[in-house]
Amino acid sequence: MYSLERKSIFLFILFICLVSFVSANDTLQYKLKSVSLIPNEINNFSLSIDFVIDLNGLVMSTDYWLDKSKRPEFHVTYQGTKPDSTCPLQLNPTTSTHGFGFILSNFNAKTISLFKAKDNQISIQCDADISFCMKDKNGTLVYGMISKSEVNSMINDNLSISDSTRASFLSALNNFYYYKNSVDFGIEPSNDSVSTRYFIALKLQNKWSPANFLKCSKGDNTSIKPDFFWSLDTRLSTNFADSLNYIKFYPVNLAWSSKNYSNQFNLKLGNESNQTFSNKRSAFDASYSLIIPNLVNLTTPSDNRLRLKPLIDFGVKGYYDYSNGITAFSSGEGYLDGHYYIPIYNSFAMIIDGSAFYDLSKERNPNHKVSGNYSVIFGTEVPKTGIKAIFKYINGKTDIDYKQGQILMIGLLADFLHEKK
């Protein structure tokens, strides 16, 4: 009896060992074949990272990852470590019949410029070994595993983003940045040195702060929230009486951008004046900005230049005019603006700006006419600086003093985010 009991215990332990052995060997170690990056520039400017597993002819079971706890776990890294916050970037795991992956979305101009870059790069890292399930030709389930070290090695050694993809993302994300952040300065030549005039024109917004590019906004980051910022748009010259000079400062700006960054709704409150502050008004402005397809292409594939799309801005403005020498009054204005940055071959560029406006007041527009102005800049880039030597021509009226003016100037233009080669 005692011997039988010992045999039973022995057989039971042997059975447990066999079950453990079979279970351990049911999950087999597999190898990765490749990793690829697929850009999506249509809906939400995302990157699909696709890992292909060497499955030896088997097919992945996509139902296995319906349990969220079994899905691959990744996190974003910055300069090789996990930052305190990785917003606005989002990682969403995906699966397919040949492997697994994820979609990396919510890029902005700064994060896409640093993703898998040579310096200060943003990258991704796998947190744990990845288990998965397959079906053989008989329909039997087979379990496999990929080690996190192999996944991370594949990311470090084989995952890259092409220059053309990065430039394409930047061109879409930076349309508004270029339009609202630039400075040009120069001179209006004259035979008489005393009459030579100097000018500066600049547009500034503090909306995009590189120091905050990985920080979250409050609340649910998946919803569309407005950006709050200040802005300055001005043209100044040593000729204070120049009718084309103006100062527009808006301490209150709200902007809602679409998820694909192709359009933007803007509200702003501020003050507008000429350079001498003799013409001045408080203004509330509502506008809608829209990026449209490129109209011309003056580059070649070998130039690899950032090619921005045209931007149309139309809106309405209510204002209170309290200029010197008049009885203050309130009125409104409708307007349409256009901006097109055209790179030309390897080192030239043309920038075309135009504006048309219709003032509703009898004080400023007694003849009920549509007025406007335009400027054309032609420049050549100073190598490795983002600065262009320019020729600039302006003609028309501003909606500040409504006087006709035209100027031909030479100078320099600087973009705060210059083109990436």
Q: How far is CA 120 from CA 46, 109, 116, in A?
A: 20, 15, 9
**Where does residue 22 rank: exposed (0-12), middle (13-18), buried (19+ CB within 10 A)?**
exposed
Model confidence, pTM? 0.64
Domain boundaries, the chain: 28-160, 178-418
Cα–Cα separations (whole angstroms), residue 276 to 184, 279, 390, 400: 21, 8, 27, 11
d(CA 318, CA 283) in angstroms, rounded, equals 6
What whole-number distance in Å separates Cα of residue 317 and Cα of residue 229? 19
Of the candidates 86, 124, 87, 82, the residue with the CA atom closest to the CA atom of residue 102: 124
Lowest mean pLDDT among 75-89, 139-153, 311-325: 75-89
Residue 172 has φ and ψ, to the nearest 5°, of -75, -45
**What average pLDDT does the structure give for the chain?**
80
Average pLDDT of span 163-178: 71
Could you write out the DSSP letters of every residue in 94-146?
Answer: EE-SSEEEEEEE---HHHHHHBT-SSS-EEEEE-S-EEEEEE-TT--EEEEEE
Instruction: Specify the pairing of strand 27-29 against strand 141-146.
Output: parallel
**pLDDT tens readout for residues 220-265:** 444 456 778 899 999 999 988 888 899 999 999 998 877 666 788 9
φ and ψ of 152, to 5 deg = -65, -35
pLDDT at 281 over 80: yes
Cα of 132 vs its chain's centroid, Å: 35
* Cβ burial, residue 117 (10 Å; 0-12/13-18/19+): middle
Could you please state the CATH topology (level 3) that the domain comprising 178-418 is classified under: Porin (2.40.160)
Contact 294, 205 (CB under 8 A): no
**pLDDT confidence bin for 343, thresholds 50/70/90:** confident
3-state secondary structure of 355: strand
**So what's the pLDDT on residue 304?**
64
Give the pLDDT score at 44. 62
